[in-house]
Chain A
Amino acid sequence: GQQVMQIPQYQHVQEGEDFTTYCNSSTTLSNIQWYKQRPGGHPVFLIQLVKSGEVKKQKRLTFQFGEAKKNSSLHITATQTTDVGTYFCPYNQGGKLIFGQGTELSVKP
């Protein structure tokens, strides 16, 4: 069945450093979504990518969908303490929305 792996599981950065997390699928995805969960909070939708090779930006966040629609990345430029949290790229498996472990980002001020 479909599998989506997200790496790394944890990332610790100094404030001001860049950060990237990757999602890799064993099969072609129709779309990919990214969510952020702050510590103690609930996941919040960030963005959806649909087209092959699509790139979208939200301020310091850049989201990319691979040409083969099998992978995606989220890049944060010059991290801030407000970026702390866990980032997820869930996938749809026959109607079930599977979130997995995500990437937990911590930022040292």
Chain B
Amino acid sequence: EADIYQTPRYLVIGTGKKITLECSQTMGHDKMYWYQQDPGMELHLIHYSYGVNSTEKGDLSSESTVSRIRTEHFPLTLESARPSHTSQYLCASSGGRGWIAFFGQGTRLTVV
């Protein structure tokens, strides 16, 4: 199994709250990604990072922000959660040749 962890697994919060979804990997991978996925729908890339201090927005516009201060850590923050942010958020990392991605177990976020 890959060593990439996401916390929390499930989160229910009220509208307007600030939240941070955690993602950590112990494989030393340079590249990390955040995807958003609604049930039965496709994976949308919302953020990615090539390494420390490098972050880019993905194909799907998102109100979330990310940071990459350490190689192993790639947290995602929502400053003011809304019901439209309800979704599953998946973090992944890849390294070396071939871009093989390893995923965390995801965070299922519900904003009420």
Contacts and interface: CB of A to CB of B under 8 A. Distances in A.
Interface of A: 31, 33, 35, 41-45, 48, 50, 88, 90, 92, 95-102, 104
Interface string B39-66: 0111101001010000010110000000
Interface of B: 31, 33, 35, 40-43, 45, 48, 50, 56, 58-59, 90, 92, 94, 98-106
Contacts, number: 57
Contact of A45 (B31, B48, B101, B105): B101
Contacts of B31: 95, 97
Interface of B is mostly: strand
B43 A99 contact: yes
- Secondary structure dominating the interface of A: strand
A95 B101 contact: no
Contact of B59 (A33, A35, A43, A96): A96
Contacts of A42: 90, 103-106
A43 B101 contact: yes
Given A42-B106, A43-B43, A98 B100 contact: no
A43 B31 CA distance: 17
Contact of B42 (A31, A48, A99): A99
A104 B40 contact: yes
Given A42-B106, A43-B103, A48-B100, A101 B42 contact: yes
A98 B99 CA distance: 11
A102 B41 CA distance: 9
B79 to A, nearest CB: 24
Contacts of B33: 97
A98 B42 CA distance: 10
B42 A97 contact: no
A96 to B, nearest CB: 6
A25 to B, nearest CB: 15
10 contacts: A33-B100, A42-B105, A42-B106, A43-B90, A45-B100, A45-B101, A95-B50, A96-B45, A96-B56, A99-B45
